[in-house]
Copies of this chain bind each other. A is one copy, B any other.
Amino acid sequence: MGLDDRKLAVLRAIVEDYVATQEPVGSKALVERHQLGVSPATVRNDMAVLEEEGYIRQPHTSAGRVPTDRGYRLFVDRLSRVKPLSPAERRAIERFLVGAVDLDDVVHRTVRLLAQLTRQVAVVQYPSLARSSVRHLELVPISTTRLMLVMIADTGRVEQRLVELPAPVPADTVTDLRRLVNEKLVGSRLSETPPLVQALVEESAAHLRPAMTTLATVLLETLVERHEERIALAGTANLTRGGLLDFQGSLRPILEALEEEVVMLKLIGEAESTTTRVLIGDENEIDNLRAASVVSTGYGPGATALGGLGVLGPTRMDYPGTIATVRAVARYVGELLAQN
């Protein structure tokens, strides 16, 4: 497959023009707008090759060319230069994230910021519980047979669960329970707690045993096993930009996918590290998103990811700009969380 430099330049030009104008681009328009130094006819020949190789296609015979998913892929991998953020964007990021009062606030601000900067749909995963460690456990008596268990993670996440005790327990028993679980569990990663919890139950004094057992069950079942991951969304209105040309006419499948937390988590939460991933069109494993592209990355202090974030938009998107923005936001959020 002989893709010489000029053919690549043509592909790049096609992608850039198409992203900008949203209209199929013809050979004549190309040579006018880009300094390719050759005639339209030559470009046409190059286009024919590019089409044969599957990088571009014609919507209909008498129309210009449009990049295929494969074309975008090549563009992203080899043709796009990193686009540095504008000072304005840089400032926007900083300004947006100061003054956040709690984790919820940080996440909400982040997702809105991301949606605003990229003008696409933004998704931010809350710091994963599985990768957090326990900072404090609190037991608040609701009644004599009910406790509220509150877990505070080092990332700032707070989860609460109602615990129905098998028998009434006096206040000082609650105090004992609280002391014990904190002594044993504080500081350890949530994924490492099961044996510790087990030990807690076995070592606990007889009068604490029943309460401790139910407590342990709630802890393991609702916090560790089905480690609740959460996400925040913003910018769905951006899906309507570009008329209904993007997403082949219907927003339905996209909106459906966005509402499935599980799906979204799979999409942006899989990353263990802070590398950036780009999924273009049908590279997507989720059928509903075959007409969309996703740019995602992990964020966290250092190179390990606490969670993922990303944006979703039409395959016809400004990849260099989007990638730069997603990375920048992730870095800022990572720093912000590291401060806590």
A residues adjacent to B (C-beta < 8 A) = 101-104, 135-136, 138, 140, 142, 148, 150, 152, 156, 158-162, 222, 230, 234-237, 239-240, 244, 250-252, 255-256, 258-259, 340
Please, how many angstroms separate the alpha-carbon atoms of A136 and B139 in the complex? 10
Copies of this chain, tallied across the complex: 2
A156 contacts which chain B residues (CB < 8 A)? Answer: 148, 160, 162
Nearest residue in B to A255 (C-beta to C-beta)? B237
- Is A138 a contact partner of B135 (Cβ separation < 8 A)? no
- Is B236 a contact partner of A236 (Cβ separation < 8 A)? yes
Please, how many angstroms separate the alpha-carbon atoms of A230 and B162 in the complex? 21
Known: A135-B148, A235-B259, A240-B250. 9 other contacts (CB 8 A): A101-B222, A102-B160, A102-B222, A136-B148, A148-B156, A152-B160, A156-B162, A236-B255, A240-B252
Please, how many angstroms separate the alpha-carbon atoms of A321 and B255 in the complex? 24
- Is A152 a contact partner of B152 (Cβ separation < 8 A)? no
* Least distance between A160 CB and chain B CB atoms (Å): 5
Given that A152-B148, A160-B152 are contacting pairs, would A340 and B102 also be in contact in the complex, using a CB cutoff of 8 Å?
A: no
- Is A255 a contact partner of B234 (Cβ separation < 8 A)? no
Please, how many angstroms separate the alpha-carbon atoms of A150 and B140 in the complex? 12
User: Which of the residues B230, B255, B340 comes within 8 Å of A142, measured between beta carbons?
Assistant: B340
Given that A152-B148, A239-B255, A252-B240 are contacting pairs, would A102 and B158 also be in contact in the complex, using a CB cutoff of 8 Å?
A: no
* Least distance between A218 CB and chain B CB atoms (Å): 8
A150, A159, A244 — most chain B CB neighbours (10 Å): A150
